[in-house]
Amino acid sequence: MVSQLPTRVYCGVIVPDTPIVSKALEFARIHSTDYAYNHIQRSWLFGFIIAGKIPELKDRDQEVHAVAAILHDVGWDPTGELISADKRFEVDGADAARDFLKKEAPDWDKHKVQLVWDAIALHTIGSIVFYKEPEVQACSYGIWTDFQGPDRVPNGLLTWDEYNVVVQELPRLGLMKGLKEVMCYLCRTKPQTTYDNTVGEWGDKYVEG
């Protein structure tokens, strides 16, 4: 059960404090820029705040949610190690997370690993992701909130006070400027992956041709 997981308070939010969560943070740190690393942590925390207020999401596997949120953007890997030549960045991230879990969490069953893969691969597709399992939904609530802010969260489920505590501890560090650079890089280097998602919109605006 969720309640049996060890926890800690991070930026005012109660989160799981388990070996695999710690390893996921270490892995994400290696494969993230500073702004991306803060973004994934804020996304994790916002998702926990919001999901804690939605009855249907309270009983989710919090460890699955945490790992998925923490690894959701490793497909932006600045080292290039996790970036394919032909897959969407979301799929690169999902594949990397699955490989990570096979190595670091061999006791996780196939369903838990699949939930992480789905949460990462689908996190930009709102018409699908919010109809998936609680862990997948909760992950995307946090990610979307970090870009849209509390005012866009339904039913006031994240207050500005809660938001500001997290952002003060984990500043944005030019997230949108960095996002533009990543999206335009993807448009230039593997344009075939940008047609059915939001990446191509950045290319239409900022990449010649």
CATH of the domain at 70: 1.10.3210.10
Per-residue pLDDT tens digits for 169-206: 999 999 999 988 988 888 888 999 988 788 878 788 87
> What's the pLDDT at 93?
98
Question: What value does the mean pLDDT take over residues 30-49?
Answer: 98
| 162 & 193 share domain | no
Beta bridge partners of 9: 14
Residue among 55, 63, 54 at smallest CA distance from 15: 63
> What's the pLDDT at 48?
98
> What's the pLDDT at 21?
98
| 150 & 207 share domain | no
Question: What value does the mean pLDDT take over residues 45-50?
Answer: 98
Long-range pairs for 99-102 at CB < 8 Å and ≥24 separation?
100/23, 100/24, 100/27, 100/71, 101/20, 101/67
> What's the pLDDT at 195?
83
Overall domain count for the chain? 2
* Mean pLDDT, rounded, of the chain: 94
| 52 & 30 share domain | yes
pTM of the model: 0.93
Residue 64 has pLDDT above 90, yes or no: yes
| 179 & 119 share domain | no
> What's the pLDDT at 1?
38
Per-residue pLDDT tens digits for 79-130: 999 999 999 999 999 999 999 999 999 999 999 999 999 999 999 999 999 9
Alpha-helical runs (H) found in the chain: 19-30, 34-51, 62-70, 89-104, 110-121, 126-129, 134-148, 160-169, 175-189, 199-206
149 vs 158: CA distance, rounded Å: 9
- C-alpha radius of gyration, the chain, whole number: 16
Per-residue pLDDT tens digits for 150-159: 999 999 999 9
| 191 & 95 share domain | no
CA 18 and chain centroid, separation: 18
| 150 & 192 share domain | no
> What's the pLDDT at 148?
95
